[in-house]
Amino acid sequence: MLLEAVYHRPKLNWTYAYDNKTLHLRLRAKKNDLTEVYAFVGDKYMWDQSKELIPMTLMISDEMFDYWECSYQPPLRRTRYGFLLKSGDKQIWMTESEFTKERPAGPERLFEFPFINPIDVFTPPAWVKDAIFYQIFPERFANGDPNNDPKGVLPWGGKPERDNFFGGDLQGVIDHLDHLSELGITGIYFTPLFEATTNHKYDTADYMKIDPHFGDIATIKKLVQACHERGIKVLFDAVFNHSGKTFAPFVDVMEKGEKSRYKDWFYVREYPLQVKNGVPTYDTFAFEPLMPKLNTENPEVKEYLLKVAEFWIKEIGIDGWRLDVANEVDHAFWRDFRKTVKAANPEAYILGEIWHESSGWLQGDQFDAVMNYPFTEAVLDFVVRGTLDAEGFANAIGKQLSRYPLQASEVAFNLLDSHDTPRLLTLCKDNKAQMKLAALFQFTYSGTPCIYYGDEVGLDGGADPDCRKCMEWDPKRQDRDLFAFYQKLIAVRKELAPLRTGSLKFLLAEKEGSKLAYERVLNGEKVLVLLNNYDAGQTIEVPATGSSWRDAFGSQTYSTSDGKLAVKLPAYGYAVLTLA
């Protein structure tokens, strides 16, 4: 046994309360090193009467490590624990301080989870696990009210630029809710709706006002109500890391300099406010002069922004917030933000925009989830770029799952493109079979999937601003086959509960190859998912119980033979199988 590779700590993703009664314990070991692992658990105040060995299962692996896991319900919510590690006929015990050949005589030197306090349990909103999100860039979705068009608006469908406008608005969204309902959408994430000068609205002028080019507060109330009547949740974009240059407090600082009562709302390094050699004399988002960074440690700034967060939930009824540039805002602010939002609506979804490993924000005191860009990159590397083989992809997914508590993975925001990236179809070089394969994994994996507006009808586009094209509403110019595929994909995900919250186990991840197979299991119900990421047909063979399996796409039935199931898949083909 390579003990140097064994790792555990009583915190974060290694030991956590999954609910008010249940602990999850995890341990890391060198890949293929241990054959059995047990958790040695008990109550420290009645150790002899409560101690027991609980077998741990191999949860997932990556390229270097295995991750073992078990669930335990302590009789009185408190636990002392260690581990028994086995490799063939060798075994060793692990305590908090050492590895030892002898079983610990008592609980004194074991790890400890002192008490499951319900207030500390990380509990994201349950509805997110079943949600299907759709991202809308409002300026480019639909023009429903020409009367509120900005000056110089261009004809719908023109070439998107960083500074042009096409008149998309909230009435346009209302007019096309049938499209979303027909598709099967149950959640909308809107990029910013508040008053701003740009087409993307990430330079907020007034956080309490809907941009007049989109509508007004009556329009957004009408839209939110119409969405809720259809069972669609609504997520707003909170740009709290920075404001816009036309935000009244910043205008005051620009005019009055150090004499402004708002000077401490921002991070000013030098007066007057100006740009020197491309770098503003005040902190900004990146080096963008239009977006001055807010000082969220300032009590007045904090009070203002928390009132904003509360207002749109309480008065308008939105169902959560997506937090822009969330990793650059202080943790203390986000902790108070969570308290404010959850007091207004305990079921509100708090989603942070973070592009990297995010465990520091996913402990139950800040966000419910983050935009899962590591997932995005893994899928694109495997299916689109071809820089990962099937084994490498399974390892990347395993690493991702090992990083967070289960409840965080269950509500992760899984996207394949967005307003910040090239569109999926363009990344796939217009190969729709490849695009479908990427989406197939997205919709058969844990977390909530999100479709970027227009992907479902074949909208393409390179990097910003090309990825922000006008939505195509002419049925003759829409890809209806692609729409039908997404519609079916959503229906299958809704029908098969294991695809949403079941355990995940890779059955086949071909080294230097393209065959991938995994099973999702929930309460004894099993779904097998097979993918052929290759430009020619291949047969995928996996172990399987039961006599026959039916494909949810096409209803074809396959028979098992000698405990194995063989399925021939076309180029970039897939199958989602349930017991017939």
Angle between helices 480-495 and 432-443 (to 10 degrees): 20
Q: Which active-site residues does the annotation give?
A: 324, 353
- Of the candidates 134, 175, 130, the one whose C-alpha atom is nearest the C-alpha of residue 483 is 134
Q: Report H helices in 120-165.
A: none
Token output for 395: 């390892």
- Checking 105-110 for CB contacts under 8 A at 24+ apart, the result is 106/47, 107/42, 107/44, 107/47, 107/51, 107/80, 110/40, 110/80, 110/81, 110/82
- Of the candidates 137, 188, 133, the one whose C-alpha atom is nearest the C-alpha of residue 450 is 133
Q: What is the C-alpha separation between 424 and 438, in angstroms, rounded?
A: 9
Helices (H), strands (E): how many in the chain? 14, 30
Give the CA distances from residue 97 to residues 8, 20, 69, in Å, rounded to whole numbers and listed in that order: 11, 28, 20
Q: What is the C-alpha separation between 437 and 515, in angstroms, rounded?
A: 12
Q: What is the C-alpha separation between 327 and 331, in angstroms, rounded?
A: 8
220: Cα separation from own chain's centroid: 25
Q: What is the C-alpha separation between 535 and 486, in angstroms, rounded?
A: 21
Q: What is the C-alpha separation between 299 and 281, in angstroms, rounded?
A: 23
Query: How would you class 353 by CB atoms within 10 Å of its CB: exposed for 0-12, middle for 13-18, buried for 19 or more?
Result: buried
- The phi, psi pair for 430, rounded to 5°, reads 65, 15
What does the DSSP 8-state code read for residue 198?
S
Q: Cβ(469)–Cβ(461) under 8 Å?
A: yes
Q: What is the C-alpha separation between 566 and 561, in angstroms, rounded?
A: 8
Three-class DSSP category at 480: helix
Question: In which element (H, E) is residue 235 found?
Answer: strand 233-238
Token output for 1: 């046994």
Q: DSSP strand E in 62-102: where?
A: 65-72, 79-87, 90-94, 99-100
Q: Cβ(366)–Cβ(334) under 8 Å?
A: yes
Token output for 334: 């986000």
Three-class DSSP category at 501: helix
CA angle 467-469-473, nearest 5°? 135
